[in-house]
């Protein structure tokens, strides 16, 4: 049994009921985890492919209507004649009927393809197919196209559509009835579309039974059954598929089986007409499932309860190993994402309750983005994973012998495996006295402070009457030309030359000097030289002064000294020159490198002072002192 399960501080778990214990024994972790991964992979794959399938289905349906509309537009007299004699509508005169039909066939497809006002467009197009089926020439294409359009009228389009793109904004807007309309559309998609699919299933099943001659509906009823889709099917096969459709069992298997069967019978000429519409319907059926009152839904509910268990953390079996991950940066989140599908309990500890996308901090610093744009609540990322627990706390000690992590001074957590992903902080290379004059970018607080300093420099320059002071205020020095320094220099240049260029009266923000200082021979030294050269040209085109082979030797309140003889007068210095690892090595008493990174072996296991792996403790990301992918 894992040691953490023997410790009360690992988190008390609720007593297991007899049913829970039997369930755990009946479905061992290996079986549950394996099935869980398979089901999740399939569902994720279906979800990933559906947007593209959705676009293809909408496009093909739209083209069918548009072709008919263009034919009528090219022969308007013929369209009016057909409306008067072939499919007259009793409550409309021929010209009005032809005009209405033509408008639907020309405007509806455009809306359907764009995914704009999709529901009303699909409903009117479905109505046109129903009218055509009722009073003109009954065809299977009308029936299947109508069924697909009715489903779209309730479900709406996929994510690649204007409707879905603007839904979030409209829902939060002050437009009259906007929020109720979006809520109603969401209800239709989540609740009513599965019911429509269930009705469609029964309709298909009746058609199959009619083909097998087990039922004999009237001729009028048969007009509304797409029986010809299954032309050539032997009766026994039609009965089997009818049963599968009626029960809603195996939607995926049914779709993948019917597709080649229908295609094969088309090729051998069993079908009176070749059409793509049955395949479009099968694509929806495979992706969206059998809908309401189906065995598939019941099976998925069973899987969700027994296999896809997103149960409460307290209900996770105590015998599952307890993995503690410290740090919710990129490395920590990647570790949780990979491990959460396994039979383990995971506790993620971070001093913040949000994940910060650090590569975009420079955009906060230059007022391009707001803090909320790059901060994601950690709990929201794992709310569907019952075996993941998130704790907000700052770790201050680790005891490898006792297998404990101490955070917030007096809170202790026991672990079976420990992963350190604590990242890095600023390094001033032993000159910490520079910190007040040269802030860095590692946190939202840093970025907000830097933004205030940059914008305040323009404000102070506007009010200053001394030209020398104005020049100092409009001089920005960035120390370090790695990715952060380069992005920051470019963003400040754009801010000065574009964003605030016309907002001041006494100064010209575009005249601001942005100086990028790099101790090495080129900027972006960790990237290919060709990329470094392109970045250099881009920055120089923005007016950034790049000083390579220049080492900062002193930073004071209003100046920066480079080398022994160059002094730059400035009141804004930003630090992007170096990082130091977290104090993880000090917590562990482990080996570290010059930057404070914990030394690890090729399996990312932490090494002690003697170079031996410490049991069950790993370090990843900026915490780990690894020179290559395998730790060598």
* 559-562 and 566-569 beta bridge pairing: antiparallel
Of 157 and 623, more confident: 157
CB-CB contact of 241 with 254 (8 Å): yes
CA distance 309 to 526: 44
On the CB side of 2, how many CA atoms lie within 13 Å of its CA? 22
CA distance 508 to 20: 72
CB-CB contact of 511 with 480 (8 Å): no
pLDDT of 602 > 90? The answer is no
Which residue's structure tokens are 């009715």? 150
What angle, 0 to 180 degrees and rounded to 10, lies between the N-to-C axes of helices 483-494 and 529-541? 20
| pLDDT digit string, tens, across residues 555-580 | 998 999 998 789 999 999 999 987 77
CB-CB contact of 323 with 415 (8 Å): yes
Bridge partners, 412 (sequence order): 406
CA distance 200 to 197: 5
pLDDT of 308 > 50? The answer is yes
- What is the pLDDT confidence band of residue 8, given thresholds at 50, 70 and 90? very low
CA–centroid distance for 235 within its chain? 46
CA-angle at 105, arms to 104 and 110, nearest 5° = 90
Domains of the chain: 32-298 (no CATH), 310-421 (3.50.50.60), 432-577 (3.50.50.100), 581-625 (no CATH)
- What is the pLDDT confidence band of residue 325, given thresholds at 50, 70 and 90? very high
CA distance 474 to 460: 9
Percent of the chain with pLDDT over 90: 58
| pLDDT digit string, tens, across residues 479-527 | 999 999 999 999 999 999 998 988 999 999 999 999 999 999 999 998 9
- What is the pLDDT confidence band of residue 11, given thresholds at 50, 70 and 90? very low
Other residues' Cβ atoms within 10 Å of the Cβ of residue 374: 19
Active-site residues, by number, are 487
CA–centroid distance for 464 within its chain? 47
Of 333 and 273, more confident: 333
pLDDT of 186 > 70? The answer is yes
> At 331, phi and psi to the nearest 5?
-65, -45
Residue 377 in 3-state DSSP? strand
Of 429 and 256, more confident: 256
- What is the pLDDT confidence band of residue 300, given thresholds at 50, 70 and 90? confident
| pLDDT digit string, tens, across residues 270-287 | 666 668 899 999 999 999
Of 608 and 44, more confident: 608
CB-CB contact of 300 with 35 (8 Å): no
Of the candidates 576, 626, 617, which has an alpha carbon nearest to the alpha carbon of residue 597? 626
Query: How many secondary structure helices (H) and strands (E) does the chain include?
Result: 22, 22
pLDDT, residue 586, reads: 81
CB-CB contact of 49 with 290 (8 Å): no
pLDDT of 371 > 60? The answer is yes
Strands, E, within 317-410: which ranges?
322-326, 345-350, 354-356, 375-377, 388-392, 395-399, 404-407
- What is the pLDDT confidence band of residue 13, given thresholds at 50, 70 and 90? very low
- Residue 48: which H helix or E strand, with range? helix 29-74
- What is the pLDDT confidence band of residue 1, given thresholds at 50, 70 and 90? very low
Furthest C-alpha separation in the chain: 101
pLDDT, residue 2, reads: 52
pLDDT, residue 631, reads: 43
Question: CA 121 → CA 68, 193, 416, distances in Å?
Answer: 16, 16, 58
| pLDDT digit string, tens, across residues 414-469 | 999 999 999 888 788 888 899 999 999 989 999 999 999 999 999 999 999 899 99
Q: Give the burial class of 60: count Cβ atoms within 10 A of its Cβ; 0-12 exposed, 13-18 middle, 19 or more buried.
A: middle
Maximum mean pLDDT: which of 18-32, 41-55, 170-184, 584-598: 41-55
CB-CB contact of 554 with 510 (8 Å): no
pTM for the model stands at: 0.61
Percent of the chain with pLDDT over 70: 90
> At 218, phi and psi to the nearest 5?
-65, 165
Which residue's structure tokens are 């690890």? 600
What tokens does 555 get? 């930073």
Question: CA 515 → CA 432, 555, 565, distances in Å?
Answer: 22, 14, 17
If you average pLDDT over residues 623-627, what whole number do you get? Answer: 76
pLDDT of 250 > 70? The answer is yes
pLDDT of 206 > 80? The answer is yes
What angle, 0 to 180 degrees and rounded to 10, lies between the N-to-C axes of helices 140-155 and 118-135? 160
Q: Where are the alpha helices (DSSP H) in 383-528?
A: 444-463, 467-473, 483-494
What angle, 0 to 180 degrees and rounded to 10, lies between the N-to-C axes of helices 295-306 and 29-74? 140
Can you state the percent helix, strand and coil of the chain, rounding each to 5?
A: 55, 15, 35
> At 193, phi and psi to the nearest 5?
-60, -40
Q: Count of residues for the chain?
A: 632
Average pLDDT of the chain to the nearest whole number: 87
DSSP one-letter string for 115-136 = TSSHHHHHHHHHHHHHHHHHHS
CA distance 596 to 88: 84
If you average pLDDT over residues 310-330, what whole number do you get? Answer: 82
Of the candidates 397, 346, 409, 454, which has an alpha carbon nearest to the alpha carbon of residue 583? 397
Of 25 and 286, more confident: 286
pLDDT, residue 619, reads: 92
CA distance 581 to 593: 9
Of the candidates 252, 262, 283, which has an alpha carbon nearest to the alpha carbon of residue 61? 283
If you average pLDDT over residues 241-254, what whole number do you get? Answer: 94
What tokens does 590 get? 């482990």
């Amino acid at each position: 049994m894992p040691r953490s399960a023997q410790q009360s501080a690992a988190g008390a778990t609720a007593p297991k009921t007899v049913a829970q214990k039997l369930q755990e024994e009946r479905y061992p972790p290996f079986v549950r985890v394996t099935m869980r991964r398979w089901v999740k992979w399939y569902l994720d794959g279906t979800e990933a492919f559906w947007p593209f399938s959705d676009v293809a289905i909408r496009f093909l349906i739209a083209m069918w209507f548009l072709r008919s509309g263009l034919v009528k537009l090219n022969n308007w007299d013929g369209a009016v004649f057909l409306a008067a004699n072939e499919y007259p509508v009793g409550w409309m005169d021929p010209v009005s009927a032809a005009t209405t039909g033509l408008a639907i066939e020309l405007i509806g497809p455009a809306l359907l393809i764009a995914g704009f006002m999709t529901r009303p467009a699909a409903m009117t197009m479905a109505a046109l197919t129903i009218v055509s089926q009722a009073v003109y020439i009954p065809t299977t294409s009308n029936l299947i196209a109508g069924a697909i359009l009715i489903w779209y009228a309730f479900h709406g389009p996929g994510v690649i559509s204007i409707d879905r793109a603007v839904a979030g904004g409209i829902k939060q807007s002050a437009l009259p009835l906007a929020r109720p309309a979006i809520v109603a559309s969401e209800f239709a998609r989540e609740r009513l579309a599965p019911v429509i699919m269930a009705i469609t299933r029964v309709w298909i099943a009746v058609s199959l039974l009619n083909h097998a001659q087990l039922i004999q509906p009237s001729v009028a009823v048969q007009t509304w059954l797409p029986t010809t889709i299954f032309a050539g099917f032997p009766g026994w096969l039609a009965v089997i598929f009818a049963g599968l459709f009626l029960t809603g069992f195996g939607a995926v298997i049914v779709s993948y089986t019917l597709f080649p069967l229908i295609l094969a019978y088309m090729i051998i000429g069993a079908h009176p007409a070749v059409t793509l519409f049955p395949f479009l319907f099968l694509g929806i059926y495979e992706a969206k499932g059998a809908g309401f009152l189906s065995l598939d839904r019941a099976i998925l509910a069973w899987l969700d309860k027994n296999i896809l268990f997103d149960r409460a953390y307290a209900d996770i079996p105590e015998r599952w190993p307890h993995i503690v991950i410290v740090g919710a940066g990129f490395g920590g989140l990647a570790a949780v994402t990979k491990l959460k599908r396994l039979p383990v309990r995971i506790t993620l500890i971070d001093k913040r309750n949000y994940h910060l996308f650090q590569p975009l901090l420079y955009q906060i610093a230059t007022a391009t983005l707001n803090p909320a744009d790059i901060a994601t609540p950690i709990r929201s990322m794992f709310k569907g994973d019952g075996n993941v627990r998130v704790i907000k706390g700052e770790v201050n000690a680790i005891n490898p012998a006792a297998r404990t992590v101490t955070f917030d001074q007096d809170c202790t957590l026991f672990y079976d495996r420990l992963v350190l992903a604590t990242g890095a902080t600023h390094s001033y290379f032993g000159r910490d006295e520079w910190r007040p004059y040269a802030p860095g970018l590692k946190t939202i607080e840093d970025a907000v402070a830097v933004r205030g300093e940059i914008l305040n420099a323009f404000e102070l320059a506007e009010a200053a009457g001394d030209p020398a002071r104005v020049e100092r205020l409009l001089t920005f020095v960035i120390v370090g030309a790695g990715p952060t320094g380069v992005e920051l220099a470019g963003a400040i240049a754009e801010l000065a030359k574009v964003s605030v260029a016309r907002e001041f009266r006494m100064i010209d923000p575009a005249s601001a000097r942005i100086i990028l200082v790099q101790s090495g021979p080129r900027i972006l030294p960790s990237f290919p030289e060709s990329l470094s050269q392109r970045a250099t040209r881009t920055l120089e085109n923005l007016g950034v002064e790049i000083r390579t082979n220049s080492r900062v030797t002193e930073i004071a309140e209003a100046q920066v000294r480079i080398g022994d003889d160059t002094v730059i007068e400035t009141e804004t210095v930003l630090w992007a020159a170096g990082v130091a690892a977290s104090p993880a090595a000090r917590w562990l008493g482990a080996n570290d490198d010059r930057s404070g990174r914990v030394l690890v072996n090729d399996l990312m296991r932490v090494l002690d002072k003697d170079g031996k792996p410490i049991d069950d403790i790993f370090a990843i990301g900026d915490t780990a002192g690894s020179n290559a992918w395998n730790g060598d």
